[in-house]
Structure 1
Amino acid sequence: MDRLPASGQLTTTPDDPKAVVTDSAAAATAWATGRRTYNGAISVDTDGNPLPTLGAQAKAAGKATGMVTTAQVTDASPAAFFANAADRGKQDEIARQYLADSTPDVILGGGEDWWLPAGTEGAFPDKPAEDTGEGSRGTKGNLIAKAKRSGYTYVTSAKEPDQARGGKLL
């Protein structure tokens, strides 16, 4: 990298009168939009207005897009590239935006609970012994079923993507 002809720098300090240390939502917003915002915000300006995201711009330009993360796919860092939310905690709304607005081709990571209505078990059981507080908590309907109807192949293990044939992957 030191031999490349050009380099760039990005400051992710939040535009937040209450904080000088950036959280992941504000930092990812700076990466994904080129604009600073307040902590807890995902790709919105300091007034809460949506900002154009890198993922949505790439999609609009006809590029294949996606995210792969070890976090929940609706977590602040991956979300900033494909969604807009004044509150990073609105993870079911972020999932809804992926399907309705930005439509990334690949969405791989954790967070099934935000894609299903409260009380609806998915591929992973609600309230397992090792984490009884874990469970489905969405408020936007069954987004996994909606994703399937929209052409996504839903996978729940590391081996399943190998069997997927074209199309979108969730």
Structure 2
Amino acid sequence: GSVRAKNTMNIMLTNVLDAAAGGLFYYLFGFAFAFGTPSNPFIGRHFFGLKSIPSTAADYSFFLYQWAFAIAAAGITSGSIAERTQFVAYLIYSSVLTGFVYPVVSHWFWSPDGWASPSRTDGDLLFGTGVIDFAGSGVVHMVGGIAGLWGALIEGPRIGRFDKTGRS
């Protein structure tokens, strides 16, 4: 969403918080929940804090690539709740979304064991084929958009942004 000029620093700080706090929680929990093997159709359960991850450059670059997706999902929401959220509340939100919510959803679609994954080998595939998410846009925008919608509904309209008729 667009923000008033007086709140641009606030938005930039929330983006930094997404990268810092989100990165920490994705490192500690998120990657394990998303891609930890062995896993089940709902959640991964290995590689917490990247412990015991295979030590090839490709595995670490895959972690960084997925971390960027996680903070992108959190960043989508920052515009929808702009000018209405305190930093501590946003820090908690960003940590929970990137460390727990987003990884579980990405596991469902992208992990070979996820219940909606097209590469699942055990059990029936969702809709007979699984869900093919081209370039990851479905998971990232679905999680960010739903979180943004709920955040905007909970927070309500921006104070001082709209008059009683709904015009800015």
TM-score of the pair, normalised by structure 1: 0.22
More strand by share: 1
> How does the TM-score come out when normalised to structure 2?
0.23
Higher relative contact order (CA 8 A, sep 6+): 2
Higher helix share: 2
